[in-house]
Amino acid sequence: MTPTSSARRRRTMLKAGAGASVAALLLAACADTDSGDGGGGGGQAAERGSYEIDCSKYDEFGDLDGTTVHVYTTIVEPEGTAHQASYEPFTECTGVQIEYEASREQEAQLPVRVRAGNPPDIAIVNQPGLLETLVRQDDAVLPAPAQVEAEVDENFSAEWKEYGTVDGTFYAAPYDANVKSFVWYSPSAFSDAGYEVPETWDELISLSEQIASAGDVKPWCVGVESGAATGWPGTDWIEDVVLRTAGPDVYDQWYQHEIPFNDPQIVEAWDTAGEILKNEDFVNAGLGGVDSIATTAWDGAGYGILDNTCWMHRAANFYQAQWPEGTEVAEDGDVWAFYLPAETTDERPTLVAGPFIAAFTDRPEVQAFQTYLASADWANAKAVATPEGGWVSANQGLDPENLATDFDRLVYETLTDEATVARYDASDLMPSQVGSGTFFTGIVNWLTGQSTQQVLDQIENTWPTS
């Protein structure tokens, strides 16, 4: 989409929204609600466009007008604004005010509040592991009400429901979805050089060799530095390769520790990943040698694609938001992404992740809001409220037309494709000592010289025994 057409579209939206906000003002005057909130909300809706939902769904929860639901998330501004806007159709239907609190420290603060007896009504929990802790150790999360479960059964695949289930009880509906199995590249550079998008792992390796031998530019750029969480982009790499070389079943056994972390099949997967990540001929394009991977920030690592100093960068769909302003993300634009190929074209193992909606109280307005968030209505409202794109849900009721960008539609297709075998990010499912501890540091050690066996033995030794 060209910049002018998007500007034009926004202007027509503004017109449509202006009408809506006049109506909203009239309503507000009649209903005598808090004028400050109403005004602000109207302004936002005008820019984003709004989505009509069926209000009758929430009648069974009784009269909720004037109540408040407190939501605690990690999604801060600027992304948070779109989330707040997506709650407005619910507020218009029921009169429930949503108090949105976002903090980057939420993962640490949430257990503190829960243990102090001061939990939020609803928390958007980023990791199934944290959900499990809150359920098992603190006994704080309430099982999802029947209405929520019905929505999830209707809208989500069984795999996604399973991630929100702990010990056989369904607790939390999925919120957003991310797909991690993408390789970013420059379509124009590929076509100029006559390279084809690879469809199998072997093609990927031979393409890498072809690029490496063709010129002085190495094929891959990689960066795993991310402050205190340094290493996580590397864990995604490994997980993706485990899914491809060992298969989804072994993957499940691996994160559940039914096979040890240093099982030969896992060693093989690391070594396969090492064919790219530890190969001086393939990495680290424009950034240095293999050990520069550990010190390169993940969010800027792919910029070499724009400067023609790098050909390929494996990163999740949310890397879309990291491209500098003005970068055209399109199939024939500056950057685009292809699916990280599997061994054959028939297999489509895909690494996914996403937060979940956990409830700590069971007041009717909280349950009504939970139901709304699990519904197709919310997914569509959220898509419409996010004109800048970069947001996708695994909700099958989401109409792809409502998504803002072509790339989001590609991600959504990948998520809902029949052939796709989705697996949740293993590092988020493992115990945190490993999943966000030694697995991260192991990646760094591995990239800075330790052997695969050595690193995997170390990680296995830190797996909690109980």
Partner 1 sequence: MSRDVTEPAVVPAGVTSTPAPTARRGLGGRAAKARRRLSNPWASGIAICLAVLWSIPTLGLLVTSFRPELDIRRSGWWTVFGDAAAGEGVFTFRNYETALFGSSTSLADYFINSVVITLPSVLIPISVALLAAYAFAWIDFPGRDWLFIVVFALQIIPIQVTMIPLLTTYVNVGINGSFWPVWLSHSIFALPLAIFLLHNFMKDIPPSLVEAARVDGAGHVKIFFRVVMPLLVPAIAAFGIFQFLWVWNDLLVSLVFAGGTPNVAPLTVRVAEMAGSRGGDWHILSAGAFISMIVPLIVFLSLQRYFVRGLLAGSVKG
Q: Which of 40, 62, 289, 464 binds partner 1 (CB under 8 A)?
A: 40
CB of 307 to partner 1, least distance (A): 8
- Using CB under 8 A as the criterion, what x/- string covers residues 320-349 for binding partner 1? -xx-xx------------------------
Binding mask 199-228 for partner 1 (x = CB under 8 A): ---------------------------xx-
Which residue in this structure is represented by tokens 């939420």?
A: 106
CA within 13 Å, CB half, 456: 18
Q: Is 309 in the site for partner 1 (CB under 8 A)?
A: no
Residue 56 and residue 375 in contact, taking contact as beta carbons nearer than 8 Å: no
Nearer to partner 1, 248 or 300 (CB): 300
Q: Considering the complex, what minimum distance in angstroms separates the CB of residue 139 from partner 1?
A: 16
- Applying CB under 8 A, does 318 fall inside the site for partner 1? yes
Q: Which stretch binds partner 1 (CB under 8 A): 57-65, 141-149, 295-303, 370-378?
A: 295-303
Is position 77 an interface residue for partner 1 (rule: CB under 8 A)? yes
Closest to partner 1 by CB, 42 vs 349, is 42
> Which residue, 34 or 59, is less far from partner 1 as judged by CB?
34
Find the binder of partner 1 among 143, 248, 260, 300 (CB under 8 A).
300
CB of 261 vs partner 1, minimal distance in Å: 27
Task: Compute the least distance from the CB of residue 255 to partner 1, in Å.
Answer: 23
Q: Cβ 390 to partner 1, closest distance in Å?
A: 11
Q: With DSSP H G I counted as helix, E B as strand and the rest as coil, what are the percentages for the chain, rounded to 5?
A: 50, 10, 35
Judged by CB, which is closer to partner 1: 143, or 387? 387
| Residue 103, burial from CB neighbour count under 10 angstroms (0-12, 13-18, 19+) | middle
Nearer to partner 1, 124 or 269 (CB): 124
Residues 6+ apart with CB under 8 A from 466: none
Contact region with partner 1 (CB under 8 A), list: 74-82, 127-135, 189-197, 423-431: 74-82
Cβ atoms 306, 186 nearer than 8 A: yes
Closest distance between partner 1 and the C-beta of residue 319, in Å?
A: 10
C-alpha 330 chain-centroid distance: 20
Phi, psi of 68 (to 5 degrees): -130, 140
- Name which of 73, 67, 127 is nearest 100 in CA terms: 73
Q: Which stretch binds partner 1 (CB under 8 A): 112-120, 139-147, 186-194, 360-368?
A: 112-120
Binder of partner 1 out of 23, 112, 146, 214 (CB under 8 A): 112
The span from the CA of 272 to the CA of 308, in Å, is 26
Give whichever of 168 and 324 is closer to partner 1, judged by the CB atom. 324
Q: How far is the CB of 4 from partner 1 (least distance, A)?
A: 23
Q: At what angle do helices 264-277 and 452-461 cross, to 10 degrees?
A: 130
CA dist., res. 369 & res. 367, Å (int): 5
Residues 69, 169: Cα–Cα separation, whole Å? 24
Question: Does 76 engage in binding with partner 1 (CB under 8 A)?
Answer: yes
| Phi, psi dihedrals of residue 274, rounded to the nearest 5° | -65, -25
Nearest 10 degrees: Cα torsion 246, 251, 253, 255: 140
Locate 282 and state its tokens: 């393939």
Per CB under 8 A, the list member of 20, 102, 189, 267 interacting with partner 1 is 102
Contacts of 315 (CB under 8 A, 6+ apart): 180, 182, 184, 233, 298, 301, 302, 322, 337
Closest contact distance (angstroms) between CB of 147 and partner 1 is 28
- Among 50, 74, 393, 452, indicate the residue that binds partner 1 (CB under 8 A): 74
Among 78, 168, 194, 215, binds partner 1 (CB under 8 A): 78
How far CA 52 is from CA of 34, 45, 317, 388, in Å, comes to 22, 12, 28, 20
Among 6, 67, 103, 308, binds partner 1 (CB under 8 A): 103
Cα distance from N-terminal residue to C-terminal residue, the chain: 54
Position 139 contacts partner 1 (CB under 8 A): no
For partner 1, the binding residues in 396-425 under the rule CB under 8 A are none
* Beta carbons within 8 Å of 311's beta carbon, 6+ residues apart: 185, 186, 189, 190, 195, 211, 217, 218, 219, 220, 285, 305
Q: How many residues bind partner 1 (CB under 8 A)?
A: 34
Q: CA–CA separation, 53 vs 369, rounded Å?
A: 13
x-or-dash pattern for partner 1, window 116-135, by CB under 8 A? xxx-----------------
| Options 10, 113, 363, 409; binder of partner 1; rule CB under 8 A | 113
- Kindly list the residues in this chain that would bind partner 1 in the complex (CB under 8 A): 40, 44, 74-81, 99, 101-105, 109, 112-113, 115-118, 226-227, 297, 299-300, 303, 318, 321-322, 324-325
